[in-house]
């Protein structure tokens, strides 16, 4: 009888230790993400780019199909087609932190969250979540060319930098990222 009690006590202790370890690992996993960003098609759920930068300076880039418009949802991509990792240099990490902090100060709510047959960019950092249509890059009125949207300069500088250091090339509408970056000029 005493042997059974010892076995049960050991099993209960192992379950408790396992549960606590699971909670600690899960908590560390969530806190390890510094920034999440995405470039995604609004006309379909395919051809999406998802970026996760951890606190150690590793950029994880994934492409694939999504099931949500909110990059805070896990998983953002429900079917990953390609994934690559890149460890940022100290200078790149410093630049990323600087651009991220500038973006964090933006007081902006997009009026064009979903526009069919377009692309959105989204960034999630701390408690800040911004989604903008590519047309908003150059105008506060959707797709008005020639006028830079001052409210979103910091957001698009951050996105441009992430794309520049990414190990996966962004291809928007089959025209590459340069078309996306220069839209409206």
pLDDT tens readout for residues 147-166: 556 667 888 889 989 999 99
What is the pLDDT at residue 108? 67
Hey, is 73 helix, strand or coil? coil
Which helix (H) or strand (E) segment holds residue 123: the answer is strand 119-125
Give the chain's end-to-end CA distance (angstroms, integer): 82
Report how far residue 57's alpha carbon sits from residue 87's, in angstroms, rounded to the nearest whole number. Answer: 6
Helices (H), ranges, 52-118: 90-104
**Which two tokens mark 154?**
């910091």
The CATH number given to 33-182 is 3.30.1560
80 sits in which H/E element: strand 77-87
pLDDT band at residue 110 using 50, 70 and 90 as cut-offs = low
142 pLDDT exceeds 50? no
Reported as a pLDDT band with limits 50, 70 and 90, residue 143 is very low
Range 78-100 average pLDDT: 93
Decide which of 143 and 117 is more confident.
117
pLDDT for 19 beyond 50: yes
What percent of the chain has pLDDT above 90? 29
Q: Is the pTM of this model over 0.75?
A: no
CA-to-CA separations, 170 to 49, 162, 173, in angstroms, rounded: 7, 11, 10
Instruction: Please give the residue that has the higher pLDDT: either 106 or 175.
Output: 106
């Amino acid at each position: 009888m005493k042997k059974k009690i010892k076995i049960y006590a050991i099993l209960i202790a192992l379950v408790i230790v396992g549960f606590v370890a699971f909670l600690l690992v899960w908590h560390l996993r969530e806190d390890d993400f510094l920034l999440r960003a995405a470039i995604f098609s609004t006309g379909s759920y395919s051809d999406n780019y998802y970026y996760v930068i951890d606190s150690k300076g590793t950029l994880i880039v994934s492409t694939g199909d999504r099931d949500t418009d909110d990059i805070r949802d896990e998983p953002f991509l429900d079917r990953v087609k390609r994934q690559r990792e890149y460890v940022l240099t100290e200078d790149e990490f410093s630049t990323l932190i600087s651009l991220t902090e500038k973006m964090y100060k933006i007081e902006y709510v997009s009026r064009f969250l979903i526009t069919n047959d377009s692309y959105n960019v989204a960034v999630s950092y701390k408690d800040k979540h911004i989604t903008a249509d590519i047309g908003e890059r150059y105008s506060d009125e959707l797709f008005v060319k020639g006028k830079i949207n001052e409210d979103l300069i910091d957001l698009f500088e951050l996105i441009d930098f992430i794309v520049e250091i990414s190990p996966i090339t962004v291809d928007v509408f089959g025209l590459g990222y340069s078309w996306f970056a220069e839209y409206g000029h």
